[in-house]
Structure 1
């Protein structure tokens, strides 16, 4: 870890629905807290199908409805250097958790976790993929990731922010 800031990477499958919503919620909650400027957030997908594309229009609309603008985000695929660049890789679901752990070098595997579980909001919880759903599915995802974002702020506020934060 080269930076004094804590760095979080949210990972889902294509990086156009769940992880950009989580990135937006986390950034908004962190910027509104004493952690502003001390925690960095990014997102990625295990697949590269949507690399360079903006989030799904329904995700953009959902976040906008909560006062968060994610329209400028662009999808990207998980890179090998992400395991060194980020303190925690927080996955949307068990499939992504398995895939990210499989790609991770052994020392980084302990820093890969489920987002909702790591946040302490839903033990072993998964964020459902809303891609084939409707706007209410995106709203359900927003509620999950925003609640997790609030819990992440509380978690990080309770511990030192520089360096790697333990499980």
Structure 2
């Protein structure tokens, strides 16, 4: 573990969002949580990132439809760059938050034995969410991207409430 990683681990609560390609759902979730964390004055306490389980989008910007839907809702995700989940994500994260069950299965299977954070579906934190998934809008129209943003906003409110309660923030 690098010194920077050690400092980050103990200076803040780290959340990483995971979807398949890291160009639609997880970058939007990252942008939304970053905004809500800053709005709550918690940027010194909570850091946020996103990644994908697949490698096919590494180095790419988010899907233009995701950027547009996020912008319409007041979030800027245009500067994010897709990457694949790696061991450092587990070592530095308190929360690995996944969008759907297939990716959850992969994230759980790849987790190092010494990982002691939470791995959950994002909708797990909503009282009515349980095992529900955030749908992948990639093969849908722009309206579906707007719907995903609204779903993410509600789920992230519940996640942030959980984090604040767990860490007394």
TM-score by length of 2: 0.89
Tell me if structure 2 keeps the 8 A contact 1:90–1:118. no
Separation of aligned partners in 1, 2:127 and 2:17? 15
Alpha carbon RMSD of aligned pairs, Å?
Answer: 1.7
Q: Higher helix fraction: Structure 1 or Structure 2? A: 2
Q: Runs of 4 or more off by more than 4 Å in structure 1?
A: none
* Structure 1 residues 119 and 51: alpha-carbon distance in aligned structure 2, compared to 1, 3 A threshold: farther
SS at match of 1:11: strand
Question: Which residue is 2:30 aligned to?
Answer: 23
* Structure 1 residues 111 and 148: alpha-carbon distance in aligned structure 2, compared to 1, 3 A threshold: same
Separation of aligned partners in 1, 2:98 and 2:158? 16
Larger mean CA deviation between 149-158 and 54-63 belongs to: 149-158
SS at match of 1:123: coil
Structure 2: gaps spanning 5 or more residues: 1-5
Aligned residues: 162
Structure 1: gaps spanning 5 or more residues: 163-167
Equivalent in 39, 54, 74 of residue 67 of structure 1: 74
**1:54 paired to 2:81:** no
Q: How does 1:1-167 map to 2 (within 5 A)?
A: 2-108=9-115, 111-118=118-125, 120=127, 122-160=129-167
Separation of aligned partners in 1, 2:127 and 2:12? 21
Larger mean CA deviation between 135-144 and 52-61 belongs to: 135-144
How far residue 161 of structure 1 moved from its aligned partner, in angstroms, is 5.6
